[in-house]
Amino acid sequence: LIAYASSFDQIGIFSKNLYDAAKVLEVIAGEDAYDSTVSSEKVLPYSLLMQQRNEQTRPLKIAYFKEALEHPGLDSEIANAFHSYVAKLRSQGHRVEAVDFPLLQYVVPAYYVLTTAEASSNLSRYDGVKYGYRAHLAAQDDLTSLYKKSRSEGFGKEVKRRILLGTFVLSAGYYDAYFSKAQQVRRLLVEQNDQIFERYAAILSPTVPSTAFTIGEKRNNPVEMYLADIYTVYANLVGIPGVSLPLFQHSNGLPFGMQVMMPQFKEAELLVLSNYLMQLNQQ
What pLDDT digit, counting tens, does each position of 224-269 carry? 788 888 999 999 999 999 999 999 999 999 999 999 999 999 999 9
- Of the chain, the end-to-end C-alpha distance in Å amounts to 39
Percent of the chain with pLDDT over 70: 98
Residue 93 has pLDDT above 80, yes or no: yes
Predicted model pTM: 0.91
Radius of gyration in angstroms for the set of CA atoms belonging to the chain, rounded to a whole number: 21
What pLDDT digit, counting tens, does each position of 151-168 carry? 999 999 889 999 999 999
Q: What is the CATH number of domain 53-281?
A: 3.90.1300.10
Determine the Cα–Cα distance for residues 169 and 113; give it in Å rounded to an integer.
7
Please, is 16 exposed, middle or buried when counting C-beta atoms within 10 Å of its C-beta (0-12, 13-18, 19+)?
Answer: exposed
Residue 173 has pLDDT above 60, yes or no: yes
Give 97 or 128, the one with higher predicted confidence. Answer: 97
Closest CA to 3 of 32, 46, 24: 32
Q: Are 262 and 62 in contact (CB under 8 A)?
A: no
Provide the pLDDT for residue 139: 84
Percent of the chain with pLDDT over 90: 70
What pLDDT digit, counting tens, does each position of 39-88 carry? 888 999 999 988 776 555 689 999 999 999 998 889 999 999 999 999 99
**Which residues does 158 contact at the CB level (< 8 Å), separation at least 6?**
222
Dihedral through CA 212, CA 218, CA 221, CA 223, nearest 10?
A: 30
Confidence of residue 138 (pLDDT cuts 50, 70, 90): confident
Domain map of the chain by residue range?
A: 14-50, 53-281
Q: Are 126 and 91 in contact (CB under 8 A)?
A: no
